Amino acid sequence: MTTHQPATSAANETKAILEVADVTKTYGEGHTQVTAIANASLQVQQGQFVSLLGPSGSGKTTLISMIGGLLTPTSGTIRLGNEVISSMSKKELTRLRAERVGFVFQSSNLVPFLTARENLLYVASLPKNHDRKAAAKRADNLLAELGLSERANNVPEKLSGGERQRVAIGRALMNDPDLVLVDEPTAALDTALGRQVVELLAREVKQRGKTGIMVTHDLRMVEYTDEVFEILDGKLTKSTGNAALAVH
Ligand SMILES: Nc1ncnc2c1ncn2[C@@H]1O[C@H](COP(=O)(O)OP(=O)(O)OP(=O)(O)O)[C@@H](O)[C@H]1O
Ligand SMILES: [Mg+2]
């Protein structure tokens, strides 16, 4: 890393909230072994929304799964604030995910027998969100912002692919996470709606001082993010604007 670290007490204010240092992830063993991520390092500041670009199979989901505490790195360290995610036990990771991470998966992973609104409120049944009235208000506000008020009482089967993804985004924001990780949010959205949803994500990150990472194939979405990281065959690099625009 070439980031300058000031040696004064002001360093605490500029210290990255999220730091991935020399992280490698290998799946399998022997001749079937795959190195999905090789020596990746990145830093993201609080309030920053960054994008992660790369072709299919390059390691994007693997990387954000480790950052979100769903997968443990084979080597290297991942730190969120004062917590070292990469050395946590399963129990600690479960707590971390419930309290600090909002994850929007590639497939929306909604609970099929709950309505859109209930899918959001389900998160609110976690201990941190015991105030039911406030949770209901937050769910309704999020559903409205995501253009889903009219769909709030539909189960996922009765929603379009894009609507399901928007419900998943609402659900990821319900627990007011420090870290928002989004895997391909625009895949099932048309352009106008895709922009709206990514704008909403960018706004949440900025206004609430969160940290966001968005995996995307869609270069048009990159303009909503502060920085672009590119990943190719498990190798992560920070992109200059030009390099990102060169990807088609
Ligand atoms: N559980 C697993 N076991 C073995 N190999 C895996 C596993 N998960 C992913 N891989 C491999 O690791 C590499 C990176 O996969 P990953 O899912 O992170 O890619 P990706 O960039 O998210 O791709 P896509 O854009 O298609 O979602 C691929 O070669 C993939 O086949
Ligand atoms: Mg993926």
**Consecutive 10-residue averages of pLDDT for the chain (248 residues):** 48 77 95 95 96 93 95 97 95 93 85 92 67 89 92 94 87 92 74 79 88 88 92 92 46
pLDDT at 242: 52
Measured in Å, residue 26 CA sits from the centre of ligand 1 at 10
Longest distance between any two alpha carbons in the chain, whole Å: 56
37 Cβ closer than 6 Å to some ligand 1 atom: no
State how beta strands 75-80 and 83-84 pair. Answer: antiparallel
pLDDT at 190: 66
Angle of helix 161-174 relative to helix 132-145, nearest 10 degrees, comes to: 140
Measured in Å, residue 105 CA sits from the centre of ligand 1 at 14
How many residues are there in the chain? 248
Measured in Å, residue 60 CA sits from the centre of ligand 2 at 6
205 neighbors 49 (Cβ within 8 angstroms) = yes
pLDDT at 14: 65
* CA proximity to 232, closest of 49, 38, 96, 72: 38
pLDDT at 12: 46
pLDDT at 106: 77
Q: Where are the domains of the chain?
A: 46-62+90-246
Distance, CA of 134 to CA of 170 (rounded, Å): 15
Distance, CA of 66 to CA of 40 (rounded, Å): 11
Distance, CA of 216 to CA of 213 (rounded, Å): 10
pLDDT at 125: 65
Is the Cα torsion angle 48, 54, 57, 58 positive or negative in sign?
negative
pLDDT at 247: 43
111 Cβ closer than 6 Å to some ligand 1 atom: no
Distance, CA of 205 to CA of 55 (rounded, Å): 25
pLDDT at 218: 81
pLDDT at 196: 80
Tally of CB atoms within 10 A around 154: 17
Give the residue whose CA is nearest to atom 31 of ligand 1: 57
- The CATH class, in words, for 46-62+90-246 is alpha beta
Strands of the sheet with 179-183, listed across from one edge: 101-104, 179-183, 211-215, 49-53, 227-232, 235-238
pLDDT at 8: 46
Which atom of ligand 1 lies nearest, measured to the CA of 37?
Answer: 14
